[in-house]
């Protein structure tokens, strides 16, 4: 049964990806401007136009064009950028994606190391000033627009105090520490949003768990409070945490795009927005396709994580 459920889920995901590819393909078809004219420049003969149209396969039916495009896309042939003359696959997958991933991972780590203890404190001292502080800061953090926060952080910590670089970007895999140093401010900006969410979730689910009978039983057995919270209660907080992190993935990506643009971090968000501004629809299409692929995959992983975290689901 389990095998079947996983297989159906996988088939469904593949189907969704296929629909996504259709949407992305017609997106490029809808984009204003004629790709042939774009390639030929201002002066050309009708013969040259027809020849290029044939070479690009644009004289064929749309369905054939789509299949050709899909075939090339799957093989990693995503075309050439008009502006940088660079291979789009290389630009998107090998250059931009790892940057966005390192930004997101770093800020998620920051948010977890700060958010879980904060939520824990708030839950244990419920109703006291610590709780009030954590709860208000969480709302503030999760609601504050990240692009504006980024500007403030650059101004205060970059320009006025001079603690962090305000310009340039070093890839963490070229020089790890210098890379982290350059990623610090963007990652903090992005982490603020998630820290709030994680703290709120940890707090509310811990309060819920601590009220359950099995906690009373464990305490009655005389186990120290550290073990009660750390082992018995926290295990039950992992589920809602994974749910929130998974559900708010869109929020993380939104924040990542905004942060990248503000800090000029050369990730996917920066790539897509610059491409929109320079009307490079091929690059926009690649970026859209790539984020959707990634988004669907991560959601699939989050889904499977539930099974791992909650033994009750494995039986289904």
Short-list 89, 98, 149, CA closest to 266: 98
Give min distance, CB of 139 to other proteins, in A: 6
Position 64 contacts other proteins (CB under 8 A) = no
Contact status, residue 307 vs residue 296, Cβ threshold 8 Å: no
Position 97 contacts other proteins (CB under 8 A) = no
Alpha-carbon distances of 156 from 239, 240, 261, rounded to whole Å = 37, 35, 18
Position 82 contacts other proteins (CB under 8 A) = no
Position 258 contacts other proteins (CB under 8 A) = yes
Position 148 contacts other proteins (CB under 8 A) = yes
Position 92 contacts other proteins (CB under 8 A) = no
Candidate residues 168, 277, 312, 315; the one interacting with other proteins per rule CB under 8 A = 277
Position 23 contacts other proteins (CB under 8 A) = yes
Distance CA 108, CA 105 (A): 5
- Alpha helices by DSSP H, listed for the chain, are 2-30, 35-40, 46-55, 62-74, 88-89, 97-124, 129-143, 146-153, 176-210, 213-220, 225-227, 234-247, 249-263, 268-277, 281-309, 311-314
Give min distance, CB of 307 to other proteins, in A: 21
Position 295 contacts other proteins (CB under 8 A) = yes
Short-list 45, 91, 115, 86, CA closest to 290: 91
Position 273 contacts other proteins (CB under 8 A) = yes
Position 74 contacts other proteins (CB under 8 A) = no
CB nearer to other proteins: pick between 116 and 209: 209
Candidate residues 1, 3, 4, 32; the one interacting with other proteins per rule CB under 8 A = 32
Convert residues 191-210 into a mask of x (bound to other proteins by CB under 8 A) and - (unbound).
---------x---x---x--
Position 302 contacts other proteins (CB under 8 A) = no
CB nearer to other proteins: pick between 172 and 269: 269
Candidate residues 1, 3, 30, 315; the one interacting with other proteins per rule CB under 8 A = 30
Position 301 contacts other proteins (CB under 8 A) = no
Candidate residues 296, 302, 309, 313; the one interacting with other proteins per rule CB under 8 A = 296
Short-list 180, 184, 181, 188, CA closest to 141: 188
Short-list 143, 153, 141, CA closest to 115: 141
Query: Number of residues in contact with other proteins, rule: CB under 8 A?
Result: 48
- Cβ burial of 128 (10 Å; 0-12, 13-18, 19+) is exposed
Give min distance, CB of 217 to other proteins, in A: 21
Give min distance, CB of 152 to other proteins, in A: 8
CB nearer to other proteins: pick between 71 and 145: 145
Distance CA 147, CA 190 (A): 9
Q: Say whether 53 sits in a helix, a strand or coil.
A: helix
Stretch that binds other proteins, among 115-123, 162-170, 180-188, 265-273 (CB under 8 A): 265-273
For residue 144 the two structure tokens come to: 């504050």
Q: Which residues contact 298 (CB under 8 A, 6 or more apart)?
A: 246, 249
Distance CA 166, CA 189 (A): 14
Residues at the interface with other proteins (CB under 8 A):
12, 15-17, 19-20, 23, 27, 30-32, 139-140, 142-145, 147-148, 151-152, 155, 159, 200, 204, 208, 249-250, 253-254, 257-258, 261, 269, 272-273, 275-277, 279, 281, 284, 287-288, 291-292, 295-296
């Amino acid at each position: 049964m389990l095998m079947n459920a996983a297989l159906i889920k996988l088939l469904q995901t593949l189907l969704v990806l296929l629909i996504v590819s259709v949407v992305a393909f017609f997106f490029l078809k809808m984009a204003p401007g004629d790709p042939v004219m774009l390639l030929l420049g201002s002066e050309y003969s009708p013969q040259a136009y027809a020849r290029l149209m044939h070479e690009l396969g644009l004289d064929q039916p749309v369905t054939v064009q789509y299949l050709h495009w899909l075939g090339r896309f799957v093989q990693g042939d995503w075309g050439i950028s008009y502006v940088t003359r660079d291979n789009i696959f290389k630009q998107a997958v090998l250059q931009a994606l790892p940057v966005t991933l390192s930004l997101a991972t770093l800020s998620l780590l920051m948010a977890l190391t700060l958010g879980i203890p904060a939520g824990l404190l708030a839950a244990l001292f419920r109703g006291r000033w610590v709780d009030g502080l954590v709860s208000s800061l969480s709302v503030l953090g999760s609601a504050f627009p990240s692009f504006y926060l980024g500007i403030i952080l650059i101004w205060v910590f970059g320009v006025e105090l001079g603690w962090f670089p305000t310009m340039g970007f070093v890839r963490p895999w070229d020089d790890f520490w210098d890379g982290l140093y350059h990623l610090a401010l963007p990652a903090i900006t992005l982490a603020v949003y998630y820290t709030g969410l994680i703290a709120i979730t940890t707090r509310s689910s811990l309060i819920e768990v601590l009220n359950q009978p099995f906690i009373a039983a464990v305490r009655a057995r005389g186990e120290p409070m550290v073990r009660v919270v750390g082992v018995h209660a926290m295990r039950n907080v992992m589920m809602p945490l994974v749910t929130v992190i998974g559900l708010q993935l869109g929020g993380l990506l939104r924040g990542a795009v905004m942060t990248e643009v503000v800090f000029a971090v050369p990730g996917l968000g920066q790539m897509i927005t610059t491409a929109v501004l320079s009307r490079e629809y091929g690059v926009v299409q690649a970026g859209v396709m790539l984020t959707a692929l990634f988004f669907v995959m991560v959601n699939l992983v989050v889904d499977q994580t539930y099974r791992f975290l909650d033994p009750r689901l494995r039986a289904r």
